[in-house]
Structure 1
Amino acid sequence: MRLLAVAAVTALVVALLPAPAQAAPVTVTNGVQFTDTSGAGVHAHGGGVIRVGAYWYWFGENRNADDTFKAVSVYRSADLRTWEFRNNVLTSSSAAELGSAKIERPKVIYNPATGRYVMWMHKENGTDYGEARAAVASSATVDGVYTYHGSFRPLNHMSRDITLWDDGGTAYMISAADENRDLQIYRLTADYLQVATLVGNFWDNATREAPAMFKRNGVYFLLTSGTSGWNPNQAKYATATSIGGPWSGWTNVGDSTTFGSQPAYVLPVGNSFLYMGDRWAGAWSGPVNDSRYVWLPIAFPSSTSMSLSWYPTVTIDAAAGAVTGNPATYYRLTNQNSGKVLDVVSASMADNAEVKQYAWNGGGNQRWEFQDAGSGYFRIVAQHSGKCLDVANASAADGANVIQWACGNGTNQQWSLSGGQLRARHSGKCLDVVSSNTADGADVQQYTCNTGANQQWSRTA
């Protein structure tokens, strides 16, 4: 009776929460750091989403500058774009063992029998990855303070990247084990706070991590990444009609870097499915809290197959349950003097990567999107990285270096195109190939505009 009373009170509290107006369609830009309603960065990295009432609640990693655990933060939204910070539901002071820990990939599900929200996560000691433990916390409210219940190795197995799956009242935890060589499915106890049994080690020596599970029309999909540190790699998925298998083999999805991201979660939105990935800042030696987000609609060529395509922006109609990718037009920018094109060197994903000229090879590091910045100016965005053509340090000097950098609002990332010249808004100076050099690898700079062919660029879709 007590459990029923708790569930009834929880349902009443949720019902009394102020409901937002029906969400209008919104557009989300990919490859950027989201901001919340206060303008601060959204730190929900490696996270997951749960819907309660009219809101989605997004939990994720929020780290200190040295990448140790600061908090599991939660944000809520009615439209999946406008995120309100709600709480740091678990912090480094929540328990003694969290004081210098690493906490990764928190996921939350609701237990209707106990009326509690249960969080599972990957826990390490903050100095290395030798612990490989799962940790559990729970709360009576979705965005309240979570009680930490400790960490352990499930059935004495190592446990790193994890996800949760609620299969109609029976809950499962999927985690990478045995130094990430195996990927295992566990059934949880009735209170969701412990592991009851190992359902199966279906992917012995598969070396997969970052699991994200979802179900569509009776088919389970398990989406994963390979293991390559912070660097993105090829996502693969397997399918089954029973969570206990048999499971299919692995099939590639997306491109060879999953569009510069790693799976974090797959969110059902009505009859649509939204891929939620992290573009980890560690790939360019940045702190985790500088990581970006990549959200894409999932398509289904058949009942047992899925596909991902790149879109620079995604429109989400939460009310209608629709997720739609918005294709971009990309251009090559060819220098009139050399016939070579604007190129991010070595297809680097990093801030401060050099921009030079090279012969056209069709790579994403030679394809550029022109995003309207207003007043006749554009942000010029590299397809492969989602980063902007940038005059380093917003310098106004002749000879200032031109690089790629995470897109922001600076006028040193805004360019006009007129008469074949690309002119930086902050300085009024032109994009210029140094010394009219015609060689591969010649540097690109800003310089006072003149009539030289080395400042003339053609734009070809």
Structure 2
Amino acid sequence: MKNPGSPRERLKLFARATAAATLVAGALIGVTATAGTAGAATSEPCDIYASGGTPCVAAHSTTRALYATYNGPLYQVRRGSDNTTRDIGLLSAGGYADAAAQDSFCAGTSCVITIIYDQSGRNNNLTQAPGGGAAGGPDNLANATAAPTTVGGHKAYGVYIPPGTGYRNNHTNGIATGDNPEGMYAIFDGSHYNGGCCFDYGNAETDSNDDGNGTMEAIYFGNIKVWGYGAGNGPWIMADLENGLFSGVNQHYNANDPTINYRYTTAIIKGGPNHWAIRGGNAQSGSLSTFYDGARPNVSGYNPMRKQGAIILGTGGDNSKGAQGTFYEGVMTSGYPSDATENAVQDNITAAGYSNSSGGGGTTGALHAVGAGKCLDVPNASTTAGTQLQIWDCSGGANQTWTRTSANELTVYSGGAQLCLDAYNKQTSPGTKVETWPCNGGANQQWQVNANGTVTGVQSGLCLDVTGASTANGALAELWTCNGQSNQQWSLN
């Protein structure tokens, strides 16, 4: 399935939950928390699924352990300078990713994610997707530093997937086939999506081809409307069942499948004989909602299902790879999980503490242009390096949310990618444009937010300035000699 589309980025920030994990019926697999700053809970998502009688058969995360006893690698990175690889593990058993190990290994060069390890013990690892019926390959690998996050107060990295990038395993162990029941959840960045086909995580064909209706069962996230769709403008959680994205029983509209774009979004699909469901919620707080729960689609070929048991991330079953998204964690189960089990998993997720705050004492908020009464804005939430910044009516969007880091950077999370406020080409003359650029620690990306309301470049000593003292939407930002005028006054809050 292919459908080109234009990316849209929207963001809602919700408070971090503090609830502890709920226990489902039966004894959970209890393990004493590991002492130290990265101590684990007594049960993690796959422990909860196991206690509910639907154990994980695949468990992928680049941010944390999904079992309380897991102490193996989460993922592997390869650096560009010498093509060597390193496994990135945990700070402690059942804990959080050792992001510092990645930062040290990748310092001064680029890194890509080569393997996302399966924590279930079944070796259902995800690696570079091969070519398929819809598009050639192998697919691109994800930039290992493009989706920074924090979880439990610890720095970690998600899997940032632009179009053309994908992971797959066509030779799996224990993944549901035929009409057998299964469940799956994933945590996505709800602000990073598009209308292309198809940003999926889940069950797909083992030959990377479109093998007909009912040969897939995967979570889809995005706002394509070629097949089924939900309420509003999207994005929606839907099921990719091959030759159709389904929001409900038919191949068209389901008013009960809402636009859902939390910064961290929990997405769930589960299916069994003539029965399937869509559920979702905010991965930072609150409970799950059910958007569909009923019979298989009323289109020929989906009852019974003909699932094949491969696993995909970031593409469609036939390697359609025009979509984009960001993945943090997800699992697949044997058996159809109960709502109670999934509710307990959601409690665990919200308690894990996903956040896009930088840590290190940083301040996050809109950077208000005091003279214009507007906000410093990344035009159209662009992810393109070198995009000149502008002022625009304040919207609360991610492309207007800036973080002052302990390294004196001003970072923005635009379109799912973290970028830095940057003085073009390290220039120090008045009129130098101010742009977004991947963070690199350079002096032209270091800024002083001063008590007098100015923001000055550490390298240039010049002030962040709205060109021509304009107050209009779209007025460009630049560096200029500090002059005390209102178009050089800023407030980060």
Question: Which TM-score band applies after superposition, normalised by the shorter structure?
Answer: 0.3 to 0.5
Structure having the higher strand fraction is: 1
Instruction: Name the structure, 1 or 2, with higher relative contact order (CA <8 Å, separation 6+).
Output: 2
TM-score by length of 2: 0.44
